[in-house]
Structures are given as C-alpha cells and as structure tokens.
Structure 1
Amino acid sequence: MLIQDSINPLYQQLADIIRNSIINGELRCGDKIPTEVELSEKYDVSRITVRAAISELVELGYLVKKQGKGTFVTKPKVQRKIEYLSSFTAACEANGLKVTNEVIKREIVEPEIEDKKDLELEDDDKLIYIQRLRFADGEPLMLENNYFSCKRFNFLLTEDLNGSLYELLKKKYDINPSDSHDSGYDRTTIEIAKAVDEEAELLKVQNGEPLFYIKTVIYDDKNRPVHIGKQYVIGDRYKFVIS
C-alpha cells in the first residue's frame, strides 16, 4: 500500500509500484492495466493521483493510452543521444536489448545530382546502395538505407554487413566516420514521416504509422564524405536525448 506521510508523493509511489510490476514481468507488453477507478479504489487515492502516476509512466514510455480501449503496457523506448554517430547497437544494449541485422538489398545504382554533390562523386562513379533491417530483441526497429561511392567503397559489395558497419570501416579499412560535434561537416536532419508500403511491411507496422526519418551525410576524420544515410525508425519505440 501507499504511505501517506512518505517523502515521496503518492502519485510517485503508485508510479513506482506499476513500473516495478512491469520490470519484474508481472505486467507484460500488451497487458491492459486497471482503470483509474479501479486503481483509485485499490490504493485508496484520488483519481487525480492515479492520473498523475499514469501520465508519468506514459511519458517515460512504460505505458501507452489507446483511445476508447484503455491504458496498456508498451515496449520500452530505445534512448539515444541526438547524434547520428551515436551507435545504434550501443544504444540498444544500454537499454538491455540484443541487436541483430539483416541485409535486405546490396546493389549498384545511379546517383542523383544531389548525391553526386553530397558525396563529391566523379562523373563516372555510381552508388552502392545498402539496405539493412535492424532488430532489437528480435523485433524490427530501424530500416537503414545507406549510399556509398562505388569507386571508393567497392569492398562493401562482398563484406559481411551483419555487424556494425562503422566498426568494419574503422578496424579493417582505417576509415573513421567523425562525430557530428567534432567534424562540423556532416549534415543531419530528423523529421516525422508515415510508414507506407515497403517501410510498413519490413518494420511490421500499419500504413500511416509515425516514423522518425533521419537523413544525413557523414564525413570521415579527413573531411571526406563517407555515405548518405536515410533511416526510418519506429516512432513509439525510440527517444532522442539532447545532450
């Protein structure tokens, strides 16, 4: 039960009880929690207190409200610093999630005018297009689309790309993608997009589901362009942190 004269406010105590039930597995992803009225009666607190506790857990990503259906336990959001080079693998592992990757496409394509400019391509150069589906605990979370100069990165056509791409570039080819705050050369934007067709099918979400769309041009520590990235991330499973 809740302690009325505790230093911690009642809503915080209730939020902690529900959160611990989720962490301990008593409440699982997809479970519906009791209504505000039921929680109010069970813990002998006002509905305002219950509402504050639920709001906090929704904000933290433990619960999600569904209009007309109730409040449900949701999958934990992956928290990641708002830097493109912040490792997806490290971010997932920090949140207790195991990362796996699946290469969907690996092919040579013709560059657009903007691609030639961004990657400083020679006139006769083409692009290597690599699409990977990235999983957290076996569930798809990110659809990754990367474009490289074919002349400079032709080795990617035969490399094993199931691990960290940046680690491969660093350790085997001495190519070091630079952090955005250090180099000043990469350009990254984050927008909200809607899942359609291919994205929806691969990420196993409904058409129209909100996604983060991250577009970037990454440079190495010698100020040479490495790749163009166009990534789609499931919106309700991800949270960016400004540091």
Structure 2
Amino acid sequence: MLNSEQAEPLYIQLKKAVQSAIANGTFNPGDKIPTEIELSANYNVSRITVRKAIEELVSEGYLTKRQGKGTFVNAHKIGRKIEHIISFTAACRANGLSSHSAITERKKIKADQETAERLQIQQGEPVLYIQRKRYAGERPLMLENNYYPFERFSFLMEESLEGSVYELLRDRYQIDPNQPGETVLQITLADEQQAKLLEIPIGQPLFYMNTIIYDQHSQPVHVGKQYIIGDRYQFTL
C-alpha cells in the first residue's frame, strides 16, 4: 500500500507499483490494466494521482492508451547504444530476454556495386547472403540481412547460426567484429514480405539500419541491412 507520510510523492509510488507489477508478470505485454477508478480504489489515492502516474508511464513507453478501450501494457523494448558494437543476442541478454534465430535464406550471390565497394571486393565477386529472423523471447523482433565476403566467410554456410554470429566468430574463428563503420538509421514501413516474416501488419513502422562492420584488423566483416520492429526497440546516442 502507498504511504502518504513518505517524502516521495504518491504518484511516484503508484508509478513504481505499476512498474513492479509489469516486471513481476502481474501485468504482461498486451494486458489491459485496471481503470483509473479501480486503481484509485485499490491504492486509496485520488484519480488525479492515478492520472499523473499513468501519464508518465505512457510517456516513458510502459503503457499505451487506446481511445475507448483502456490502457495497455507495451511489449518490452530492447535497448542498445547505436554507436556501440553489441550483438542482438547480447542486447537481449542485457535486457533480461532470451533470444534465438531462424535462417530464412542463405545463399551465394554476386556483389552489386554498392556492396562490393563497402566490402572492398570487386563488383560481381561472390558474397554470402544470410537472412535470419531474430526472436526476442518467443516473438520475432528483427529481420537481419547480412552480406559477407564469400571467400573469407564461406564456413558460415555450414554453421547453424541459431545464436550470435559475433560470438561464434570470436570464439571459433578468432574474428572480432568490433568496429562499426558508417551506420544509417531510418524509419520505414513493413512491406508484405517483411510483415509476413515478422508477424506484424503491413505498414507497421520499422527501424531500417544499414551498416558496415569491421574486425580487429579493420577488415570488412559484413554489410548489414536490418529491419527492426519500431515499437519494441529503442536506440540511444
């Protein structure tokens, strides 16, 4: 129960109580939380206090208000710093979530001019294209499209790639993808194929991240073109 004698304002205490209920699974992603009237009665506080707590939780991304339907718990967002090299697996782990991957495409293709220039190879040379659907918990979160110089990374044709490729490269092949090159982050809308693979509606906002990653010797590892569900991921600078 909230304590009016504490120095901490009641709306902050209520806010923390709702955050705790989300963290411990009392309220799960997608759940509708009690109404203002119900929360006011449950915690013995005014509706003004409830409204202020809920407004802050909405602004911080914990909750979403839906007109005429109520207030709902948002899916947990995965956070990472855009300027740091951290694998998807490590980002999920840091945010308390399990992760796994499913390969949707893996094939040798010819490098177009842009990819060839970024990988420091000749146009038309073979590259290894790997598309994976990345899961955070049990839900797909990212559609990963990576392009590797085939001559150097052909061994990835035989790997399962269910977990972190970066960890695999470091642990088994002594290749450390630790240097980001130019990275462009944009907002796009899911097309039909992306929506089907990510199990979302067509037109849902996605982060599109286009990047190049280098190893410890400043050699290109891969060009990455990633599509990430926007309302479940956040970048910080």
Fold conserved between structures, TM > 0.5: yes
Percent identity between the two aligned chains: 50
Q: How does 1:69-88 map to 2 (within 5 A)?
A: 69-83=69-83, 85-88=85-88
CA distance in 1, matches of 2:83, 2:193: 26
1:214 aligns with 2:195: no
Does residue 95 of structure 2 align to residue 100 of structure 1? no
Match of 1:183 in 2: none
- For the aligned residue pairs, the C-alpha RMSD in angstroms reads 1.9
- Measured against aligned partners, the alpha-carbon deviations of 1:161-204 in whole angstroms (never above 9, x if no partner) come to 22211122222222221233xxxxx1111111111111111111
Checking the alignment, whether the CA contact within 8 Å between 1:61 and 1:75 is kept in structure 2 is: no
The range that moved more, 131-140 or 118-127, is 118-127
Moved more, 42-51 or 132-141: 42-51
Distance 2:179 2:171 in 1: 17
The structural deviation recorded for 1:42 is 4.4
Q: Tell whether the 8 Å contact from 2:110 to 2:123 is kept in structure 1 after alignment.
A: no
Which aligned pairs between 1:71-220 and structure 2 lie closer than 5 A? Answer: 71-83=71-83, 85-180=85-180, 186-220=181-215
Match of residue 230 from structure 2: 235
Which stretch of the first structure deviates more once superposed, 97-106 or 3-12? 3-12
Aligned length: 237
Q: Which residue of 1 aligns with 2:8?
A: 8
Q: Rate the CA distance shift 1:163–1:26 in 2: closer, same or farther, 3 A.
A: closer
TM-score by length of 2: 0.91
Alignment partners' CA distance in 2, 1:16 and 1:124: 57
CA-to-aligned-CA distance 1:209-233 (integer Å, 9 cap, x gap): 1111111011122222111001111
- Relative to the length of structure 1, the TM-score reads 0.89
For the residue of structure 2 that corresponds to 1:51, the secondary structure is helix
Partners in 2 of 1:43 and 1:154 — Cα distance?
A: 60
Deviation sequence 1:129-159 (CA, Å, 0-9, x none):
1001111112111111000112222222222
What are the ranges of 5 or more consecutive residues in structure 1 without an aligned counterpart? Answer: 181-185
Q: Distance in 2 between matches of 1:7 and 1:120?
A: 61
CA distance in 2, matches of 1:10, 1:223: 54
**Distance of 2:22 and 2:157 partners within structure 1:** 44
Runs of 5+ consecutive residues of structure 2 not aligned to the other structure: none
